[in-house]
Structure 1
Amino acid sequence: MSATADWADLRAPSLAEIEALADAAFAALPEEFRRLCHGIRIHVDDFPDEETLTEMECESEFDLLGLFRGVGLAQSGEVATGQMPNAVWLYRRPLLDYWAEHDESLGHLVTHVLVHEIGHHFGLSDDDMAGIEAAADEIGGDPGEA
């Protein structure tokens, strides 16, 4: 089979397929890291909403691959009544655009964005997050490879 035939019938991953990649990536993270994330919700949308784009000072709807909203351990304190649960948003179209322009698997990219969105808000350094990603690769491999 030619390389062209391998790609001829493929379509861009759907929101549900990106969410499945994110779920697999989260499940492959080290247990200690996942415990820090108790109750976190992962959402996948095509693009950030207008309010988020404005708040994050984005020039384009493709500027933001993901976003953490909530109160992480770095800002720890009591959960306020009515406070929304901690959540990560992954943005499908910007992720796909970035993936198309770079030499890495989609599963690796989703894992990277997920770890970084959670990690920065838990006060982790870039080195800490790189270690978590490396450990996830050892535990579960690349969630984009099947």
Structure 2
Amino acid sequence: MSRQPAEWRDAMAPGLDVFEELAEAAFAALPEAFRELARDVVIRIEDFPDDDTLDAMECETPFDLLGLFHGNGLAQGGGIRWTGQMPNLVFLYRRPILDYWADHEETLGSLITHVLVHEIGHHFGLSDADMEEIERQAGQDDATG
């Protein structure tokens, strides 16, 4: 579905609050079993990664990283919680996602779903094929629901 120029004339890039709503909707569309396993993962939306993250990930620019899982994944024994342990976090970076979206033939919602599934997938130690299947199921849920 293509938009007419008049539909874009007054459009603005979605802010952090809209991104949070899009991420919540993307998470809600994921398969129930996947959501249940990921219920303790906190999703955070930020404009860009901080400088320490950019350095640790060896990024050349702040636009190189769309999202990041931070914490102890289940594959690394992250199912055990200790007193004072910070929650597992998934960061979605708004400006790099918007930049990527502008250059590709993909809807913003599907891109956010892709980044979210990929980052949560790190929590579970999933393969790329597993994550593609979860995205496929989320897409089917969108189409039927």
TM-score by length of 2: 0.92
Per-residue deviation at 1:120?
A: 2.2
> Which consecutive unaligned segments of at least 5 residues does structure 2 have?
none
SS at match of 2:120: helix
Cα distance in 2 for partners of 1:140, 1:35 equals: 18
Report % sequence identity. Answer: 62
1:91 equivalent in structure 2: 93
1:4-19 correspondence runs (5 A):
4-19=5-20
- CA RMSD, 1 decimal: 1.2
2:40 equivalent in structure 1: 39
Per-residue deviation at 1:138?
A: 1.1
Residue identity matched to 1:120? H
Residue identity matched to 2:139? D
Cα distance in 1 for partners of 2:105, 2:32 equals: 29
SS at match of 2:21: helix
1:126-145 correspondence runs (5 A):
126-141=128-143
Residue identity matched to 1:6? E
Residue identity matched to 1:124? L
> Which consecutive unaligned segments of at least 5 residues does structure 1 have?
142-146
1:108 equivalent in structure 2: 110
TM-score by length of 1: 0.92
Residue identity matched to 2:134? I
Bigger Cα displacement from structure 2, 72-81 vs 39-48: 72-81
Paired residues in the alignment total 140
SS at match of 1:42: strand
Q: Deviations over 1:22-63 (max 9, x none)?
A: 000000100111111121111100000011111111110000
Cα distance in 2 for partners of 1:121, 1:43 equals: 15
Cα distance in 2 for partners of 1:140, 1:84 equals: 32
Q: Deviations over 1:57-116 (max 9, x none)?
A: 111000000001111211125222211101100000000000000000000000000000
